[in-house]
Amino acid sequence: MEKKYFEDYSMGEVFVSPGRTITETDIVLFSAFTGDWHELHTNVEFAAKSPFKERIAHGFLGLVVGSALIFRLGRHVLLPESFIAFYGMDSVRFVGPVKIGDTLHSEVTVTELTAKDGKRGIIGHENEIKNQRGESVIVYNTKILAGRKPSGS
């Protein structure tokens, strides 16, 4: 498998991940790990009286599960071996609820390719986490710093 560099991506290129169904187990595990047991996620009586009528997943649960799905294509696909750093996220919006039994997948589009210097380049991504009906539930933008292809290679 040859090493992948900044130059190996193209604007508008889209990566689509496999899917994962969000289960009651996931909600319990995420509540436990983070300590965030808000009753909207973990109390069926409370949730029945909420606008959603049932327990929904934490927004951050959808974010961390959904964002990692893309790496199932193989680490090298989105995060090249020349990966240097993850800049951060902007405009993270939780645009729809994730219910127990919903199946999430991730769609990542290359939206920026900016050479930083001769050795490094910035790759920008628009990330959409979608459910089984194709509805976006979380959207956000990310940027990573990756190595550029050595000249002559």
Which residue ranges make up the site for its own copies (CB under 8 A)?
1, 18-21, 23-26, 28-39, 42-46, 55, 59-60, 63-65, 67-69, 71-77, 79, 86-94, 101, 103, 132, 140
Residue 69 CB, shortest distance to its own copies, in Å, is 7
Which residues on adjacent β-strands are paired with residue 109?
14, 126
**Closer by beta carbon to its own copies, 53 or else 75:** 75
**Closer by beta carbon to its own copies, 66 or else 121:** 66
Residue 130 CB, shortest distance to its own copies, in Å, is 12
Residue 142 CB, shortest distance to its own copies, in Å, is 9
**Closer by beta carbon to its own copies, 84 or else 113:** 84
Q: How far apart are CA 110 and CA 97, in angstroms?
A: 26
Phi, then psi, of 48 in degrees rounded to 5: -60, -25
Asked if 108 and 127 touch (Cβ cutoff 8 Å), the reply is yes
Residue 118 CB, shortest distance to its own copies, in Å, is 20
Closest residue by Cα to residue 127 from 101, 99, 94, 85:
94
* Tokens read off for 106: 């991730």
CA–chain centroid gap for 82, Å, is 20
